[in-house]
C-alpha cells in the first residue's frame, strides 16, 4: 500500500497534462475551458514537469495570464513558475507588455476591464521583481485611464496605478519618473477630494515615504510636497510615514498594514528613533508571520529584511544576520537565482556579515554574498544601473578589510586595495550622477574613499574625502546626527594613527563619543573605537591622568556590553489602535 497515495484530483490533473503535451492535443487548447483555479493547477503541473516552453506560450497570452492572476491564494506558486520561465530564457514579461500596449487605443466603453488587467499585472510584476516591466505596463494603464471619462471610478483606478508605479520607480531608481508620478498622484488626490470620493491613502503615503528613504532625504518636512520630490520643497521619509500611520484602520488589507508599519519603522531607524522603530517592525513581523505562515510569500522576506535593518542599526548585529539569512532563504526558495529580490537579499546579508565579522576578520561569507549579488545584478540590470552602487560599496568595504589582513603579502594587499578603490569610485560616480553632490549617499561614498585612502597611506587625499563627507552630512542632517559622528570618528582615526595630529584627533573623538552617547547610550559598540583612540591620543600626549581615565571608561563599557542579552522577538500581536497610539 502507498504511504502517500495521490488523491483523485491530482491524478486527473496529472493525466490531463500528460495527455495534452504528449498526444499533440496542446494546440487545441481545450484545457482552457477549465475553471480558473483548476487551470492554475494544470499550469503548475506543467511547471513541475519542466514543460517550460509550452508554459511560456500560455503565459504570454494576456487573457490567460489575467485568469491565472485572479487565483490569488496560489501567488507563491505562480511566482515560482513565472521566474522559472525567465530563468529558462523566455521573455514572457516583454510579450505581455507588448500585447497590453495594443489597448492604448481602447474605446471609452471597453476601458474599465482593461484597466483592471493592467493594474493586476503591474502589481504582480512588482512582486516578481520585474520593476521595469511594471513601469511599462502601468504607463499604458495610465494612458488608458486618461482617455476615459474622469469620474470618481476612473480617478480611483488612476490613483491605484500611481500607487503601484511609484513603488516600482522608487525601487528601480527611476527618480525623474517617480517625481512625475508623485506630482500626478497629488493632482488626482485633489480631484477626488472635490468629488468627496477619496479612498484610504495609507499605502500610497507609505510609498511616498519609501521614495524619500531611497533618495536619502531624511529631513523633517516644513510643508507638504507641492509637486517635486526633492529638498527644494521639504520632504523626507517622515512626510509619508506619519500620514500613512494615521490612516491605518483594521479594515485595510493586512498587506497594506504590514507595508505601512515596516516602511514607517525604516523611517524611524534613519532618524535614530529606535523605540518607535522597534514597536512598528515587531508588529509588522507578527502580522506577516500570521499572513504568510503557509506559503512563505516573498512579502514575508521583505518584512524580515526591514527587521534585520532595525536590528543591525540597533546594535543587535548577530541577531540581524540570522534574520537576513532567513529572509534570503525565502527569496531563494521562490526565485532561485536571476532575480533582483535575491540580489538585494545577498547584498543585505553581505553587509550584515561584514559588520558582524569586523573584529574577527573572517570575511569569506560576506565577500561571497556581495559577489553573488553583483553577478545577479549585472546579468539582469542595464549597465551602470544605480542599484549596483550600493553593492559595489559593500564589496569594496569587505575587500579593504581583507587587504589589511594580508598586509604582509604585498602583492595580495595591493591587489585588494586597488580593486576596492575601483569599486568605490564606480559607486561614487553612479551616486553623483543620480543624486548630485549634496546627498547622504554621495557623502557616504566620499567617506568610504577616505577610509580606503587611509589604508593606502594616501593621507592628505583621505583627509579631503573625510572633510567633504562631514561637510555634506552636517549640512543635510545636522551636526549631531549618527552619520556625522561616524565620519568624525574616521577622521579622528586618520589624525590619531597616521598624521600624528593628536590634539585634533582628541577634539573629534570627544565629539564622536558625545553623539554616540546621546543616540545609543553607554553600551553602544561603536564607543570601543573612540575609547581606544583616546587612550592612544593621551599616551602619545603623555597625559597619564586622562589615559587612565579612558582606560577605566573602556573597562566600564566592556562590562556593560557583557551584560547585554540578545533581543528576543515576542510573537505577540497587539491591537492596531494600541500600536498607533503608542507611536504618537
Given a contact cutoff of 8 angstroms between Cβ atoms, the answer to whether 56 and 92 are in contact is: yes
Residue 463 inside a domain? The answer is no
Handedness of CA 166, 168, 172, 177 (dihedral sign): negative
Residue 416 inside a domain? The answer is yes
Please enumerate in sequence order all residues whose Cβ is within 8 A of that of 473, keeping only pairs 6 or more positions apart, or say none.
440, 443, 481, 483, 484, 487
DSSP 61: S
Full residue range of the structural domain in which residue 343 is found? 328-422
DSSP 108: S
pLDDT (tens digit per residue) in 360-413 = 778 999 999 999 999 999 999 998 899 999 999 999 999 999 998 888 899 999
Cα separation of 557 and 532, whole Å? 11
DSSP-based three-state secondary structure for 35: coil
Cα separation of 537 and 532, whole Å? 9
Residue 377 inside a domain? The answer is yes
pLDDT of 486: 93
pLDDT of 24: 62
Query: The cell 569610485 sits on which residue?
Result: 425
Number of domains in the chain: 1
Query: The cell 543587535 sits on which residue?
Result: 316
Cα separation of 531 and 514, whole Å? 12
Cell triple for 367: 565577500
pLDDT of 219: 59
pLDDT of 4: 62
Cα separation of 498 and 228, whole Å? 45
Residue 534 inside a domain? The answer is no
pTM attached to this predicted model: 0.90
pLDDT of 517: 92
Cα separation of 497 and 520, whole Å? 26
pLDDT of 19: 84
Integer Rg of the chain from CA: 26
Of the CA atoms within 13 Å of residue 316, those in its CB half-sphere come to 19
Q: 75-87 and 111-128 are packed helices; what angle lies between their axes, rounded to 10 degrees?
A: 70
pLDDT of 571: 66
Cα separation of 24 and 260, whole Å? 50
Residue 187 inside a domain? The answer is no
Residues of the chain with pLDDT under 50: 1-2, 108-109, 220-235
Instruction: Tell me the C-alpha to C-alpha distance, in Å, between residue 152 and each of 147, 190, 194.
Output: 14, 12, 10
Long-range contacts of 433-437 (CB under 8 A, 24+ apart): 433/386, 434/173, 434/175, 434/386, 434/389, 435/215, 435/216, 437/472
Residue 126 inside a domain? The answer is no
Residue 407 inside a domain? The answer is yes
Between vectors from CA 91 to CA 90 and to CA 93, what angle results, nearest 5°? 135
Residue 403 inside a domain? The answer is yes
Amino acid at each position: 500500500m502507498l504511504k502517500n497515495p495521490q488523491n483523485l484530483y491530482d491524478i486527473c490533473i496529472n493525466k490531463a497534462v500528460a495527455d495534452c503535451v504528449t498526444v499533440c492535443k496542446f494546440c487545441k487548447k481545450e484545457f482552457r475551458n477549465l475553471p480558473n483555479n483548476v487551470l492554475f493547477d494544470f499550469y503548475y503541473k506543467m511547471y513541475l514537469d519542466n514543460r517550460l516552453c509550452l508554459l511560456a506560450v500560455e503565459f504570454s497570452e494576456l487573457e490567460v495570464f489575467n485568469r491565472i492572476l485572479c487565483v490569488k491564494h496560489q501567488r507563491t506558486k505562480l511566482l515560482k513558475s513565472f521566474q522559472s520561465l525567465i530563468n529558462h530564457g523566455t521573455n514572457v514579461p516583454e510579450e505581455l507588455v507588448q500585447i497590453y500596449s495594443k489597448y492604448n487605443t481602447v474605446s471609452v466603453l471597453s476601458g474599465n476591464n482593461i484597466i483592471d488587467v493592467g493594474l493586476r499585472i503591474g502589481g504582480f510584476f512588482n512582486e516578481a521583481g520585474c520593476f521595469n516591466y511594471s513601469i511599462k505596463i502601468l504607463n499604458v494603464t495610465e494612458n488608458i485611464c486618461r482617455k476615459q471619462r474622469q469620474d470618481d471610478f476612473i480617478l480611483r483606478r488612476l490613483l491605484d496605478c500611481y500607487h503601484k508605479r511609484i513603488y516600482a520607480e522608487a525601487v528601480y531608481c527611476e527618480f525623474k519618473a517617480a517625481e512625475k508620478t508623485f506630482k500626478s498622484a497629488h493632482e488626482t488626490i485633489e480631484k477626488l477630494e472635490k468629488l468627496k470620493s477619496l479612498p484610504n491613502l495609507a499605502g500610497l503615503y507609505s510609498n511616498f515615504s519609501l521614495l524619500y528613504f531611497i533618495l536619502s532625504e531624511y529631513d523633517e518636512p516644513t510643508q507638504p510636497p507641492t509637486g517635486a520630490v526633492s529638498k527644494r520643497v521639504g520632504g523626507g521619509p517622515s512626510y509619508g510615514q506619519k500620514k500613512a500611520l494615521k490612516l491605518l484602520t483594521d479594515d485595510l488589507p493586512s498587506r497594506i498594514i504590514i507595508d505601512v508599519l515596516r516602511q514607517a519603522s525604516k523611517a524611524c531607524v534613519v532618524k535614530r528613533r529606535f523605540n518607535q522603530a522597534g514597536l512598528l517592525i515587531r508588529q509588522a513581523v507578527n502580522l506577516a508571520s500570521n499572513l504568510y505562515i503557509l506559503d512563505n510569500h516573498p512579502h514575508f522576506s521583505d518584512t524580515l529584511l526591514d527587521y534585520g535593518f532595525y536590528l543591525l542599526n540597533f546594535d543587535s548585529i548577530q541577531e540581524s544576520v540570522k534574520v537576513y539569512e532567513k529572509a534570503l532563504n525565502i527569496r531563494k526558495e521562490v526565485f532561485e537565482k536571476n532575480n533582483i529580490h535575491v540580489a538585494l537579499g545577498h547584498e543585505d546579508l553581505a553587509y550584515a556579515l561584514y559588520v558582524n565579522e569586523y573584529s574577527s576578520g573572517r570575511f569569506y561569507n560576506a565577500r561571497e554574498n556581495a559577489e553573488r549579488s553583483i553577478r545577479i545584478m549585472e546579468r539582469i540590470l542595464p549597465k551602470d544601473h544605480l542599484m549596483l552602487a550600493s553593492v559595489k560599496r559593500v564589496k569594496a568595504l569587505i575587500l579593504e578589510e581583507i587587504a589589511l589582513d594580508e598586509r604582509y603579502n604585498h602583492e595580495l594587499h595591493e591587489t585588494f586595495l586597488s580593486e576596492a578603490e575601483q569599486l568605490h569610485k564606480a559607486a561614487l560616480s553612479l551616486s553623483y550622477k543620480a543624486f548630485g553632490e549634496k546627498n547622504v549617499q554621495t557623502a557616504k561614498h566620499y567617506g568610504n574613499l577616505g577610509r580606503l585612502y587611509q589604508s593606502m597611506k594616501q593621507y592628505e587625499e583621505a583627509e579631503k574625502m573625510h572633510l567633504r563627507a562631514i561637510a555634506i552630512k552636517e549640512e543635510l542632517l545636522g551636526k549631531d546626527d549618527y552619520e556625522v559622528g561616524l565620519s568624525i570618528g574616521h577622521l579622528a582615526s586618520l589624525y590619531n594613527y597616521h598624521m600624528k595630529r593628536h590634539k585634533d584627533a582628541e577634539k573629534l573623538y570627544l565629539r564622536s563619543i558625545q553623539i554616540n552617547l546621546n543616540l545609543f547610550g553607554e553600551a553602544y559598540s561603536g564607543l570601543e573605537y573612540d575609547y581606544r583612540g583616546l587612550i592612544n591620543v593621551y599616551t602619545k600626549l603623555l597625559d597619564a591622568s586622562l589615559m587612565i581615565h579612558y582606560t577605566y571608561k573602556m573597562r566600564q563599557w566592556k562590562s556593560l556590553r557583557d551584560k547585554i542579552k540578545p533581543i528576543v522577538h515576542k510573537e505577540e500581536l497587539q491591537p492596531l489602535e494600541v500600536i498607533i497610539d503608542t507611536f504618537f
